[in-house]
Amino acid sequence: MTTIRIPDSKHVLILAISVALALFLNPSFTTGQTSVRQRDKAVEVRAETLLKQMTADEKIGQLSQTFAFAPGATLEKRIRDGQIGSVLFLTDPAQINKLQRAAVEGSRLHIPLLFGLDVIHGFRTVFPVPIAMAASWDPSTVEKAQAVAAEEARAVGIHWTFAPMVDIARDPRWGRIVEGAGEDPYLGSAMAAAQVRGFQGEYLGAPNHIIACAKHFAGYGAAEGGRDYEAASVSDEQLQNVYFPPFRSALDANVGTFMSAYMDLNGVPATGNRWLLHDVLRDQWHFKGFVVSDADAVKDLKTHGFAMDAADAAVRAFHAGVNMEMAVGSGDFGAYLPLALKEGRITVAQLDDAVRPILETKIRLGLFEHPYVDEASAKQIIESPDHRTEARKAAERSAVLLRNEGGILPLKLSAYKNIAVIGPLADSKWDMQGPWTFANDANENVTVLNGIRDQAGRDTDVEYAQGVQISRKFPSPFAALLRGKRPEPWNEEQAKEQFSKAVQTARNSDLVLMALGETQDMTGEVASRSSLDLPGQQQQLLEAVVATGKPVVLILLNGRPLNITWAAEHVPAILEAWYPGTQAGNAIANLVFGKSVPGGKLPFTWPRNVGQVPLFYAHTLSHAPQRQGTRYWNEESTPLFPFGFGLSYSTFQFSNLQVSKPQIYKGDNSEITVDVENTSNVPGDEVVQLYIHQQYGSSSRPVRELKGFSRVSLHAHEKRTVRMLLTKDDLTYWSSATKSWIQDASTFDVWAGGDSTAELHSTFAVVR
Ligand code: BGC
């Protein structure tokens, strides 16, 4: 129980109001008795009461967030002095409580801190990376995963995650493609909403949940050349139809916060972009939460050649709509907004508007009543075996089977006496988890080798050889943050020896499982690549192993499409496992031995070659569409694998595509049904995908657009009718011709099937 110092009678009054409102706000008290509206009102009243007590400096303090890699006396003093409203990057509940005590017991108004962290794909239990979760095409799996992540994070005292990242990424050179849901606005929107629901629960402040943050608003995925942080030039049409929808979907799911992006958007830095953060977000979308800047993005406004100096940067970010500055050290808001207020560059009313949603968030989270975390119970929650089970299931549901010639998978154990497990990622605990994992224990990660060994049984020998080492040319800036060390690099002689040993191990086996891809720090922030080739000598190793004539199963661990054009011709089985997380090896073993059946689908178009990027399925048609696949004279311009693609151990057939009405009026829904049948003896999942194309209108529309999907589990030979609804929104788009949202009268093609090349076709018309 906290002892709060009460300095004067004014505070007695505030305390009394607080207690009354706390009772009122308590979900169990309010359920069924007070409406959401009344609860919102109570929050507003309480924030307003608090606001009236605050000095300008205390308000500016609430707008200031700082990293606390190693909290020290200076930070505690700043907190006690009311200069900090939020702290990020702590994961130790004792440290969190210590700083919280400084705020709650040491600061004049006892306003608790908001603790934030990038809880991207799990906390202590690491789930598959977001791109993998999107490949599950299963919002309920995604929601559950983020609910587990939220529960673990909240158990150590974290209140706020900087996730989901909902940036559309169509250029896999950009390393942050791993953090999002890929190329498609419809799939991206579904994943955005599912993540927000998972993190936040049913309402902002739900127990065991945390506040989510839709980032990075907006256009960050369109960084020039795929180079992280570079400018993005995105037309209004693309912004509205492609890049905005997942943000809008997060907002509709009631996301509590947004993060502004680093880069210039069409010449104006996103963090200083009032059109983006104010006109779109507040005026048009009616966002009521608060915006945090990306780390040091306010200071960057000077670097961009946008702000005159640091003071100008603070004022312009503030006016653009940034409520809270995330700063690595001391921020510009704290340093310059007090003077800006005195000089009239910002007003008290504007300051209040900026602070209000931050206070409201703290109130909704119940932090005034329960500022501290129970250090004793944290361990039990973060070590929950149930969470590990969920992580394993999610990894199994995310995997995408890209090739399975001759049905080599699932492996029949009795057929193999000696299995070779080869590759630099096969036994690397570290590389099972992907980027943005700061709170887990990598020792717990089950590697591919461990998983295979566990399940191979006594009658099958499993031999392992690493073969090659891979590393970045320019080290990741995050390397220092991750616990554990990379092994020493081999010298030339050792490298040759290891390579030959791996080939020999393959020769001595009946079957080879190769685990290739990218190390966990080769994707994520500051992890762009100019090539999509398998890094290091992996391609050479793969070719040498295939040359032994042994059957090879390639398991990919990565967060972006890689150049596997050679493998797609010469390696009989390819399983895209992504970075599966804590339970990697167990999930992969279950998949290759057939205890579970792969059912994931690609959330991006897989190019043959880096020269093709950006490559996405929803392009528009143009002159000579019959030559679409031969736009380059040297190589097919078609993808290696289309968007939405993924095989299974089952086989499926689609039939009987029906459109409810051949003609509908603008504004009406159209109901689509299709039959899907499991034509095999193996139970499995198929993702039913619905695509449309508007044949003519005020603008040209993409050749196909995903507008519905449903992952269905089918028993052997089971047939099911799947129903999907096309709504007015699905048939409306932002037109460059009218500069507005429009629904055209037109004829629409409809396709349903198992990927974006689905052939089952119908049409319907929309008339005035
Ligand atoms: C990243 C954000 C992240 C923040 C805090 C920045 O460098 O761009 O996505 O939330 O750091 O870790």
Residues in the chain: 768
Q: Ligand 1 test: best mutation among 162, 210, 437, 481, most atoms within 8 Å of CB?
A: 162
- CB of 118 closer than 6 A to ligand 1? yes
Neighbours of 198 (CB within 10 A): 27
Confidence of residue 380 (pLDDT cuts 50, 70, 90): very high
Ligand 1: centre distance to CA 267 (Å): 22
Neighbours of 350 (CB within 10 A): 13
Index of the ligand 1 atom closest to the CA of residue 213: 10
Per-residue pLDDT tens digits for 173-195: 999 999 999 999 999 999 999 99
Q: What is the mean pLDDT of residues 132-145?
A: 98
Q: Ligand 1 test: best mutation among 258, 481, 525, most atoms within 8 Å of CB?
A: 525
Q: Which amino acid is at 464?
A: Y
| Both structure tokens of 286 | 């009616």
Index of the ligand 1 atom closest to the CA of residue 165: 9
The residue whose CA is least distant from atom 12 of ligand 1 is: 118
**Percent of the chain scored above 90 by pLDDT?**
91
Ligand 1: centre distance to CA 102 (Å): 25
The per-residue pLDDT for 156 is 98
Index of the ligand 1 atom closest to the CA of residue 163: 10
Per-residue pLDDT tens digits for 320-361: 999 999 999 889 999 999 999 999 999 999 999 999 999 999
Per-residue pLDDT tens digits for 104-132: 999 999 999 999 999 999 999 999 999 99
The per-residue pLDDT for 478 is 85
The residue whose CA is least distant from atom 2 of ligand 1 is: 294
Helix (H, G, I), strand (E, B) or coil at 434: coil
Ligand 1: centre distance to CA 295 (Å): 6
- CB of 608 closer than 6 A to ligand 1? no
The per-residue pLDDT for 709 is 98
Separation CA 350–CA 457 (nearest Å): 67
- CB of 184 closer than 6 A to ligand 1? no
Q: Which of 4-13, 21-30, 89-98, 459-468 has the lowest mean pLDDT?
A: 4-13
The per-residue pLDDT for 484 is 59
Helix, strand, coil in percent for the chain, rounding step 5 = 40, 20, 45
Ligand 1: centre distance to CA 430 (Å): 21
Q: Which residues contact 576 (CB under 8 A, 6 or more apart)?
A: 135, 399, 400, 401, 402, 556, 558, 600, 602
Separation CA 89–CA 75 (nearest Å): 14
Confidence of residue 140 (pLDDT cuts 50, 70, 90): very high
Bridge partners for 464 per DSSP: 421
Q: Which residues contact 82 (CB under 8 A, 6 or more apart)?
A: 55, 57, 58, 61, 107, 108, 109, 111
| Both structure tokens of 21 | 């409102």
Confidence of residue 72 (pLDDT cuts 50, 70, 90): confident
The residue whose CA is least distant from atom 8 of ligand 1 is: 294
Ligand 1: centre distance to CA 525 (Å): 8
The residue whose CA is least distant from atom 7 of ligand 1 is: 295
Ligand 1: centre distance to CA 128 (Å): 19
Are residues 372 and 102 in contact, defined by beta-carbon separation less than 8 angstroms? Answer: no
Q: State the Cα torsion 364-366-371-377 to the nearest 10°.
A: -120
Separation CA 201–CA 490 (nearest Å): 48
Q: Ligand 1 test: best mutation among 258, 259, 300, most atoms within 8 Å of CB?
A: 259
- CB of 162 closer than 6 A to ligand 1? yes
Distance of CA 555 to the CA centre of its chain: 22
Can you state the angle between helices 584-592 and 448-456, rounded to 10 degrees?
A: 50
In this structure, what are the phi and psi dihedrals at residue 443, rounded to the nearest 5 degrees? -60, -25
Catalytic residue among 294, 427, 521, 730: 294
Per-residue pLDDT tens digits for 607-643: 999 999 999 999 999 999 999 899 999 999 999 999 9
In this structure, what are the phi and psi dihedrals at residue 552, rounded to the nearest 5 degrees? -120, 135
- CB of 215 closer than 6 A to ligand 1? yes
Ligand 1: centre distance to CA 294 (Å): 6
Separation CA 703–CA 643 (nearest Å): 13
The per-residue pLDDT for 312 is 98
Tell me how far apart the 2 most distant CA atoms of the chain are, in Å. Answer: 85
Ligand 1: centre distance to CA 206 (Å): 25
The residue whose CA is least distant from atom 11 of ligand 1 is: 295
Neighbours of 496 (CB within 10 A): 11
Helix (H, G, I), strand (E, B) or coil at 404: strand
Helix (H, G, I), strand (E, B) or coil at 495: helix
Q: Which residues contact 140 (CB under 8 A, 6 or more apart)?
A: 194
The per-residue pLDDT for 569 is 98
DSSP 263: S
Separation CA 362–CA 479 (nearest Å): 33
Per-residue pLDDT tens digits for 7-17: 344 444 444 44
Ligand 1: centre distance to CA 523 (Å): 14
pTM of the full structure: 0.95
Q: Which amino acid is at 109?
A: L
Helix (H, G, I), strand (E, B) or coil at 762: strand
Separation CA 414–CA 734 (nearest Å): 58
Considering only CA atoms, give the Rg of the chain. 27
Q: How far are the Cα atoms of 292, 314, 370, 755 from residue 79, in angstroms, in the given order?
A: 19, 20, 18, 53
DSSP 102-169: HHHHHSTT-PPPEEEE---SBSSSBPPPHHHHHHTT-HHHHHHHHHHHHHHHHHTT--EE---B----
Whether the predicted pLDDT of 287 surpasses 90: yes
Q: How far are the Cα atoms of 291, 426, 611, 647, 659 from residue 608, in angstroms, in the given order?
A: 39, 25, 8, 18, 35
C-alpha atoms less than 13 angstroms from C-alpha of 616 in its C-beta half-sphere: 21
The residue whose CA is least distant from atom 4 of ligand 1 is: 295
Separation CA 691–CA 73 (nearest Å): 58
Separation CA 16–CA 225 (nearest Å): 57
Index of the ligand 1 atom closest to the CA of residue 216: 9
The per-residue pLDDT for 480 is 77
Per-residue pLDDT tens digits for 205-261: 999 999 999 999 999 999 999 999 999 999 999 999 999 999 999 999 999 999 999
The per-residue pLDDT for 24 is 47
Angle CA(526)–CA(192)–CA(118) in degrees, nearest 5? 45
| Residue 294 is a catalytic residue | yes
**Percent of the chain scored above 70 by pLDDT?**
95
Whether the predicted pLDDT of 722 surpasses 80: yes
Per-residue pLDDT tens digits for 9-57: 444 444 444 444 444 444 444 444 557 888 899 999 999 999 999 999 9
Please indicate whether residue 668 or residue 438 has the higher confidence score (pLDDT): 668
- CB of 296 closer than 6 A to ligand 1? no
Which candidate, 546, 609, 554, places its Cα nearest to that of 576?
Answer: 554
- CB of 176 closer than 6 A to ligand 1? no
Q: How far are the Cα atoms of 178, 274, 296, 343 from residue 339, in angstroms, in the given order?
A: 41, 22, 20, 6
Work out whether strand 418-422 and strand 461-465 pair parallel, antiparallel, or are unpaired.
parallel
The per-residue pLDDT for 15 is 43
The residue whose CA is least distant from atom 10 of ligand 1 is: 162
Element (H, E) at 258: strand 257-260
